[in-house]
Amino acid sequence: MAKNFLLLIFFVLLLQADTEFIFSYKLCVENAQAVNEQIYVSRAMTITNTQKKFACKINKKIKKNETILKYLRNNKQSLLKCFQKNTKYINSFYEGNLKNSYSQITIKTAPIRFTVKFNNDFAIIDTFKTSAK
């Protein structure tokens, strides 16, 4: 009896919950040259219970044996364009003297939670509305 009850809860959660993901981005520039660029896409560990808002549309189909996470990682540049309006943190450092100079700029985005819905020819990316404090 308890086993059936747990299975029922599991299937209800599967039907009800969207898979959430987290996107973050970091770019390091030293002396006017891009040194390091990192784009992270991973599954969220917890579910967000706020309203969704449309972010963008990716005009690529998901392949038959491709997971959603692999699809998102293959389309990182599209996600970056999608989320480039979100909150960014910029850190700048400059050191100079008569002989040489050194500058470093780091640009980071705040982690962005989002969901993905697939149609026949494209994917719809929705982010979550943040509550105004």
What would the DSSP string read from start to end of 34-53? EEEEEEEEEE-SS---S-EE
In the 8-state DSSP scheme, what is residue 70? H
Query: What integer is the mean pLDDT of 78-102?
Result: 88
In a domain, 38, yes or no: yes
pLDDT surpasses 60 at 83: yes
pLDDT surpasses 90 at 98: no
In a domain, 2, yes or no: no
Would you place residue 16 in the very low, low, confident or very high pLDDT band (cuts 50, 70, 90)? Answer: very low
Domain that holds residue 86: 20-128
pTM here? Answer: 0.75
Give CA 73 to chain center in angstroms: 10
In a domain, 117, yes or no: yes
Residue with tokens 């939670």: 113
pLDDT surpasses 60 at 131: no
What is the H or E stretch that residue 80 is in? Answer: helix 76-83
φ, ψ dihedrals at 32, nearest 5°? 65, 20
In the 8-state DSSP scheme, what is residue 7? H
Span 19-60, pLDDT tens digits:
889 999 999 999 989 999 999 999 888 877 788 888 899 999
Task: State the pLDDT at residue 106.
Answer: 95
Distance separating alpha carbons of residues 113 and 53, to the nearest angstrom:
11
In a domain, 24, yes or no: yes
In a domain, 15, yes or no: no
In a domain, 62, yes or no: yes
In a domain, 77, yes or no: yes
Number of domains in the chain: 1
With beta carbons less than 8 A apart as the criterion, state whether 54 and 126 touch.
Answer: yes
In a domain, 11, yes or no: no
Cα-trace Rg, the chain: 20
